[in-house]
């Protein structure tokens, strides 16, 4: 088994985040620094991550949070900023955020220690729809919206087609629901920059059909069995 898959299945982090831990030399296998793509014997090899022995989770946990802005979607932050982990209940199992919302964004964020579940929801090939409430400065023209829907180039790659529904528009601002099927870094903010608009407010309100359902900012709850099953097949 590849080392990143093993780490993810043990609830350390998503596979992508585990790759970063490996690149940074924070993972050791049998006392030696691990390398990207390394194969391990999960039953016999000793794996240490950030000084702690890694073992499989005895039970998978699944949570949803209404992330407030002003915190980062990492387990730890080298700059000492508040992280989403600070909002989790005490004595929660070792879990990690599924995907990310940037520091100034808020809304629906999942947590788990199930690596396959996390990979299924975040891998680009899955194309899981995620819907955001977006508020931009000024009025966004019909032409700009058509361009965004068709796909725009950011970071050298054209975005997938997206859905945009205008909720409210005036000369001072535009509110929209935007649904994308990718999860690139700061994707929506960069998309609107291509049409000359800054995003003033960004909140993820749905993953597939899963919504926040009244969770206040910073609140967390366990997913129901039905919600877990839905997300495994969305």
Kindly give, in sequence order, each residue whose CB lies less than 8 Å from that of residue 101, ignoring residues fewer than 6 positions away: 67, 73, 107, 109, 204
Is CATH 1.20.1530.20 the classification given to domain 129-207?
A: no
The CA distance from 229 to 34, in Å, is: 34
The domain segmentation of the chain, as residue ranges, is 3-53, 62-124+215-233, 129-207
pLDDT in tens, 142-199: 999 999 999 999 999 999 999 999 999 999 999 999 999 998 889 999 999 999 999 9
pLDDT at 42: 84
pLDDT in tens, 53-103: 888 777 889 999 999 999 999 888 888 899 999 999 888 888 899 988 999
Is CATH 3.30.70.580 the classification given to domain 62-124+215-233?
A: yes
**Domain 3-53 sits in which CATH superfamily?**
RNA-binding S4 domain (3.10.290.10)
Concatenate the DSSP letters of all residues of 71-137 into one string.
SBSSS--TT---BGGGGSPTT--S-EEES---TT-EEEEEEES-HHHHHHHHSGGG---EEEEEEEE
Q: Which single residue is written with the structure tokens 């992330």?
A: 67
Catalytic residue numbers read 102
pLDDT at 3: 93
pTM higher than the cut 0.85: no
């Amino acid at each position: 088994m590849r080392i990143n898959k093993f780490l993810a299945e043990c609830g350390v982090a998503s596979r992508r985040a585990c790759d970063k831990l490996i690149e940074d030399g924070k993972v050791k296998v049998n006392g030696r620094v691990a390398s990207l793509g390394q194969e391990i014997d999960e039953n016999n090899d000793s794996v240490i991550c950030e000084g702690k022995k890694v073992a499989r989770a005895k039970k998978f946990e699944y949570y949803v949070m209404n992330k407030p802005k002003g915190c980062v979607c990492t387990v730890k932050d080298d700059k000492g900023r508040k992280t989403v982990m600070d909002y989790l209940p005490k004595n929660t199992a070792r879990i990690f955020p599924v995907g990310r919302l940037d520091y100034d964004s808020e809304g629906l964020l999942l947590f788990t220690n199930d690596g396959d579940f996390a990979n299924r929801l975040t891998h680009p090939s899955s194309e899981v729809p995620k819907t955001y409430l977006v508020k931009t400065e000024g009025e966004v023209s019909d032409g700009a919206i058509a361009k965004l829907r068709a796909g725009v180039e950011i970071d050298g790659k054209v975005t997938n087609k997206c859905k945009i529904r205008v909720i409210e528009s005036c000369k001072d601002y535009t509110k929209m629901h935007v649904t994308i099927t990718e999860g690139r870094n700061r994707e929506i903010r960069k998309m609107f920059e291509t049409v000359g608009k800054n995003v003033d407010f960004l909140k993820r309100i749905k993953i597939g059909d899963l919504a926040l359902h009244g969770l206040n900012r910073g609140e967390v709850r366990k997913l129901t069995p039905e919600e877990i099953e839905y997300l495994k097949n969305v």
